[in-house]
Amino acid sequence: MSTLSQETRNAVTTALEAKFLGAMVGSENTQPGRLSGAELLRMVEVHLTPNDKSKTHVLLPLPGMPEEWKDKRPSQQRIEPLELTIVNKRYATPTERVDFRAKRIEDILFQYGNIIAMHALRMRQHREKLIMDVLNDGFSSLAADGQFFFDTDHAWGNSGSQNNKGTTAFGETALEAMLSHFMGFVDNEGEPMGLWPDLLIVSKEAYRDALQLIASAELRDTTANTRYGTSNPHHNIIDVRWSPHVDPDNFYGLVTTLPLKPVRLQIEQEPVFEEDDKEWFDEEVMKYGAKKYEGAGNGYSELAYGSTGGS
């Protein structure tokens, strides 16, 4: 029988869970220009589903969700169990045992608390990957009108053919093509909607060029060998973010300020911290982990523009 009481193990579990939950709701990533939770929630239409553990969990089909996702949880994010081997101190007096337990808890939290926090960070970042996968796959997944989410011939009623797909890497010409798409977009009655993108997402490879083009107050005309710059017409016209999940040549422009959104997120189960003590009696090993279930699909293609940087 273990000399570490159930109360001691409960104290460890409670403390580690607090560390995990604190990291889940902690401050956003401070890397410059990094896509954060604030932008993610701004760009998605969230659909909550009931979590009834007595039934098999099935994510409802969302537009653009791969077929193989529709009969199971597509985005199950289960962190690998973290094994905490707690060594007993046998044949101790009650006072020594109490001191030992307190020290063990302190040691465990010091050794494993930061690992638990990193697990929470990975879980937070998983949502970004889901959403960016929707955009990256938008050139081959269908939208509500039966066309690919990013395509050259969308049509709604009397809108005529409309193009929200680019085939060039990010640059001034590609940026102007994207802006032209949004400014010229019409609704199903053929009336202009006056859309304007507020969020530009680029790859880590293109982030420097995007900042130079949009954050600079002036553009240098080096070909004319002049010492003076010219006013930059694109200065601060859109919020620029980068994500490591964007394909190197891709970029995306999104309208995120309207009630309808270009991406949908379905939450089946919020993050849950778990313990597993099945091996405690024989091996004195406690296992901790976390899991969540959510999926993403495309929303309204008229609110998005994507470019592959190629054909």
The CA distances from residue 39 to 33, 128, 199, 226, in Å, are 11, 10, 8, 39
Query: What's residue 267's pLDDT?
Result: 82
Residue 187's contacts (CB-CB under 8 Å, 6 or more residues apart) are 156, 157, 159, 193
* Domain extent listing, the chain: 6-34+50-137+266-293, 151-261+302-307
Does the pTM of the predicted model rise above 0.75?
Answer: yes
> In the prediction, which pLDDT does 119 show?
80
Residue type for 182, please?
F
Amino acid at 79: I
Is there a contact between 43 and 135 (Cβ–Cβ < 8 Å)?
no
Q: Which two tokens stand for residue 311?
A: 């054909």
pLDDT computed for residue 15 by the predictor: 82
Judge contact between 73 and 296, C-beta under 8 A: no
Q: Give the separation between CA 166 and CA 143, rounded to whole angstroms.
A: 17
Please state, in angstroms and as integers, the Cα–Cα distance from residue 228 to each residue in 49, 221, 222, following that order.
Answer: 58, 8, 9
pLDDT per residue over 187-209, tens digit each?
Answer: 888 888 889 999 999 999 999 98
Kindly write down the DSSP assignment for every residue of 211-275, as one continuous string: HHHHH-SEEE-GGGT-SSEEE-TTTT-SEEEE-TTS-TT-EEEE--SSSS-SEEEEEEEEEEEEE
Average pLDDT of adjacent 10-residue blocks, the chain of 311 residues: 61 82 72 88 84 54 60 50 52 51 69 80 85 91 86 82 87 89 86 91 92 80 61 85 91 93 86 74 70 84 87 46
Closest CA to 114 of 208, 224, 20: 20
Q: How far is CA 43 from the centre of its chain?
A: 11
* Ramachandran category for residue 20: left, alpha or beta (phi over 0 → left; psi -120 to 50 → alpha): alpha
Q: What is the DSSP letter of 64?
A: T
The CA–CA distances, whole Å, from 202 to 1, 170, 189, 251 equal 57, 8, 33, 5
The structure tokens 């995007």 sit at: 210
CA–CA dist 165, 194 (Å, integer): 18
- At residue 252's C-alpha, the angle toward residues 233 and 71, to 5°, is 165
DSSP label of 69: G
* SS3 label, residue 306: strand
